Protein backbone atom coordinates (compact mmCIF):
# COMPACT_ATOMS: atom_id res chain seq x y z
CA UNK A 1 0.00 0.00 0.00
CA UNK A 2 1.34 3.46 -0.92
CA UNK A 3 2.18 6.00 1.74
CA UNK A 4 -0.47 8.58 2.52
CA UNK A 5 1.29 11.88 1.80
CA UNK A 6 0.00 15.24 3.00
CA UNK A 7 1.20 18.79 2.46
CA UNK A 8 0.73 21.45 5.12
CA UNK A 9 1.45 24.75 3.35
CA UNK A 10 1.99 28.16 4.87
CA UNK A 11 4.15 31.23 5.00
CA UNK A 12 5.25 30.35 8.55
CA UNK A 13 6.51 33.87 9.27
CA UNK A 14 7.16 32.67 11.90
CA UNK A 15 5.99 29.19 12.78
CA UNK A 16 3.87 29.30 15.95
CA UNK A 17 2.67 26.82 18.54
CA UNK A 18 -0.64 26.87 16.66
CA UNK A 19 1.08 25.62 13.51
CA UNK A 20 2.87 22.95 15.55
CA UNK A 21 -0.45 21.82 17.02
CA UNK A 22 -1.85 21.32 13.49
CA UNK A 23 1.37 19.53 12.41
CA UNK A 24 1.23 17.20 15.40
CA UNK A 25 -2.40 16.34 14.73
CA UNK A 26 -1.80 15.94 10.97
CA UNK A 27 0.80 13.25 11.71
CA UNK A 28 -2.09 11.03 12.79
CA UNK A 29 -3.66 11.31 9.34
CA UNK A 30 -0.74 10.71 6.97
CA UNK A 31 2.40 8.58 6.76
CA UNK A 32 4.52 11.40 5.36
CA UNK A 33 3.90 15.09 5.99
CA UNK A 34 5.60 17.74 3.89
CA UNK A 35 5.52 21.20 5.38
CA UNK A 36 5.59 23.56 2.43
CA UNK A 37 7.07 26.95 3.30
CA UNK A 38 5.68 29.36 0.71
CA UNK A 39 7.44 32.39 -0.79
CA UNK A 40 4.36 34.67 -0.53
CA UNK A 41 6.14 38.01 -1.04
CA UNK A 42 2.72 39.70 -0.95
CA UNK A 43 2.64 39.24 2.83
CA UNK A 44 5.98 41.07 3.24
CA UNK A 45 7.59 38.40 5.42
CA UNK A 46 9.86 39.38 8.31
CA UNK A 47 12.16 36.42 7.60
CA UNK A 48 13.61 35.20 4.31
CA UNK A 49 12.31 31.98 2.79
CA UNK A 50 15.41 30.09 3.94
CA UNK A 51 15.18 31.53 7.46
CA UNK A 52 11.52 30.53 7.70
CA UNK A 53 12.32 27.02 6.46
CA UNK A 54 15.19 26.72 8.98
CA UNK A 55 13.02 27.94 11.88
CA UNK A 56 10.29 25.51 10.83
CA UNK A 57 12.76 22.60 10.64
CA UNK A 58 14.11 23.42 14.11
CA UNK A 59 10.58 23.60 15.56
CA UNK A 60 9.51 20.34 13.91
CA UNK A 61 12.69 18.54 14.96
CA UNK A 62 11.88 19.45 18.57
CA UNK A 63 8.38 17.93 18.44
CA UNK A 64 8.29 15.09 20.98
CA UNK A 65 6.21 12.51 19.11
CA UNK A 66 5.53 12.32 15.43
CA UNK A 67 3.18 9.31 15.51
CA UNK A 68 5.49 7.34 13.20
CA UNK A 69 5.06 9.99 10.51
CA UNK A 70 8.02 11.15 8.43
CA UNK A 71 8.10 14.96 8.33
CA UNK A 72 9.97 17.03 5.79
CA UNK A 73 10.19 20.82 5.45
CA UNK A 74 10.48 22.15 1.90
CA UNK A 75 10.34 25.71 0.58
CA UNK A 76 8.27 26.24 -2.57
CA UNK A 77 7.62 29.08 -4.98
CA UNK A 78 5.05 27.64 -7.37
CA UNK A 79 1.34 26.95 -7.32
CA UNK A 80 0.37 24.92 -4.23
CA UNK A 81 -1.38 22.24 -6.27
CA UNK A 82 1.69 21.84 -8.49
CA UNK A 83 3.90 21.57 -5.41
CA UNK A 84 1.55 19.00 -3.84
CA UNK A 85 1.55 16.93 -7.04
CA UNK A 86 5.38 17.09 -7.20
CA UNK A 87 5.44 15.75 -3.63
CA UNK A 88 3.07 12.90 -4.49
CA UNK A 89 0.51 14.22 -2.01
CA UNK A 90 -3.09 13.10 -1.90
CA UNK A 91 -4.04 15.62 0.78
CA UNK A 92 -3.61 19.29 1.62
CA UNK A 93 -3.85 19.97 5.36
CA UNK A 94 -5.22 23.35 6.45
CA UNK A 95 -5.84 24.70 9.92
CA UNK A 96 -8.91 26.72 10.85
CA UNK A 97 -8.92 29.05 13.85
CA UNK A 98 -12.24 30.83 13.46
CA UNK A 99 -15.27 31.20 11.24
CA UNK A 100 -13.46 34.04 9.46
CA UNK A 101 -10.80 31.54 8.26
CA UNK A 102 -13.45 29.19 6.90
CA UNK A 103 -14.77 31.38 4.09
CA UNK A 104 -11.32 32.01 2.61
CA UNK A 105 -10.22 28.39 3.04
CA UNK A 106 -13.48 27.08 1.59
CA UNK A 107 -13.00 29.17 -1.56
CA UNK A 108 -9.34 28.14 -1.81
CA UNK A 109 -10.24 24.44 -1.45
CA UNK A 110 -12.79 24.81 -4.25
CA UNK A 111 -10.26 26.45 -6.56
CA UNK A 112 -7.62 23.85 -5.69
CA UNK A 113 -10.07 21.03 -6.45
CA UNK A 114 -10.59 22.53 -9.91
CA UNK A 115 -6.83 22.70 -10.50
CA UNK A 116 -6.27 19.10 -9.33
CA UNK A 117 -9.33 17.07 -8.31
CA UNK A 118 -7.12 14.13 -7.23
CA UNK A 119 -5.88 16.06 -4.19
CA UNK A 120 -8.29 16.60 -1.31
CA UNK A 121 -8.20 19.36 1.29
CA UNK A 122 -8.62 18.38 4.94
CA UNK A 123 -9.39 21.02 7.57
CA UNK A 124 -8.25 20.67 11.16
CA UNK A 125 -9.81 22.96 13.72
CA UNK A 126 -7.32 24.72 15.96
CA UNK A 127 -7.17 23.38 19.49
CA UNK A 128 -8.92 25.66 21.95
CA UNK A 129 -5.56 26.64 23.46
CA UNK A 130 -4.26 27.75 20.03
CA UNK A 131 -7.31 29.36 18.40
CA UNK A 132 -6.14 32.91 18.93
CA UNK A 133 -2.47 32.50 17.90
CA UNK A 134 -1.46 34.05 14.59
CA UNK A 135 1.97 34.91 13.20
CA UNK A 136 0.81 38.47 12.61
CA UNK A 137 -0.21 38.99 16.26
CA UNK A 138 2.94 37.27 17.54
CA UNK A 139 5.09 39.65 15.49
CA UNK A 140 3.10 42.68 16.65
CA UNK A 141 3.29 41.71 20.32
CA UNK A 142 6.99 40.85 20.07
CA UNK A 143 7.89 44.02 18.17
CA UNK A 144 6.28 46.08 20.94
CA UNK A 145 8.20 44.23 23.67
CA UNK A 146 5.47 41.85 24.83
CA UNK A 147 6.09 38.31 26.05
CA UNK A 148 5.60 35.85 23.17
CA UNK A 149 7.11 32.81 24.88
CA UNK A 150 3.77 30.98 25.15
CA UNK A 151 2.99 31.46 21.45
CA UNK A 152 6.19 30.22 19.75
CA UNK A 153 9.02 27.74 20.34
CA UNK A 154 12.11 29.10 22.10
CA UNK A 155 14.20 29.13 18.89
CA UNK A 156 11.57 31.27 17.19
CA UNK A 157 11.31 33.63 20.17
CA UNK A 158 15.06 34.21 20.05
CA UNK A 159 15.03 34.74 16.27
CA UNK A 160 12.19 37.27 16.58
CA UNK A 161 13.91 39.17 19.38
CA UNK A 162 17.12 39.29 17.34
CA UNK A 163 15.27 40.54 14.24
CA UNK A 164 13.45 43.22 16.24
CA UNK A 165 16.77 44.37 17.75
CA UNK A 166 18.20 44.63 14.21
CA UNK A 167 15.21 46.72 13.15
CA UNK A 168 15.71 49.13 16.07
CA UNK A 169 19.45 49.41 15.36
CA UNK A 170 18.95 50.17 11.63
CA UNK A 171 19.21 53.88 10.80
CA UNK A 172 15.74 53.97 9.21
CA UNK A 173 14.20 51.66 11.82
CA UNK A 174 13.88 48.76 9.36
CA UNK A 175 16.23 45.81 8.97
CA UNK A 176 17.61 45.30 5.49
Check whether 94 is labelled as a binding-site residue: yes
Catalytic-role residue among 52, 57, 135, 157: 135
Instruction: Give the model confidence (pLDDT) of 26-35 as tens digits.
Output: 999 999 999 9
CB 13 within 8 A of CB 43: yes
**If residue 35 lies in a helix (H) or strand (E), which one and from where to where?**
strand 32-38
Residue 169: half-sphere exposure toward Cβ, Cα within 13 Å: 7
What CATH number should be reported for the domain whose range is 5-130? 3.40.50.620
Instruction: Give the model confidence (pLDDT) of 19-55 as tens digits.
Output: 999 999 999 999 999 999 999 877 789 999 999 999 9
CB atoms within 10 A of CB 167: 15
- C-alpha distance from residue 138 to each of 26, 98, 157, 161 (Å): 23, 17, 10, 11
19 given a catalytic annotation: yes
Instruction: Give the model confidence (pLDDT) of 82-109 as tens digits.
Output: 999 999 999 999 999 877 788 889 999 9
Check whether 137 is labelled as a binding-site residue: no
82 given a catalytic annotation: no
Give the domain ranges of the chain. 5-130
Mean pLDDT calculated for residue range 104-119: 94
Amino acid sequence: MADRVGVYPGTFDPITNGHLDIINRATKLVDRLIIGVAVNAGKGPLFTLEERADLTRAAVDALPGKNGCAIEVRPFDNLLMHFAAECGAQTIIRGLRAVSDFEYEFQMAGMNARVNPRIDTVFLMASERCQFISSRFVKEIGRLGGDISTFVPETVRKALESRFAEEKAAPDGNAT
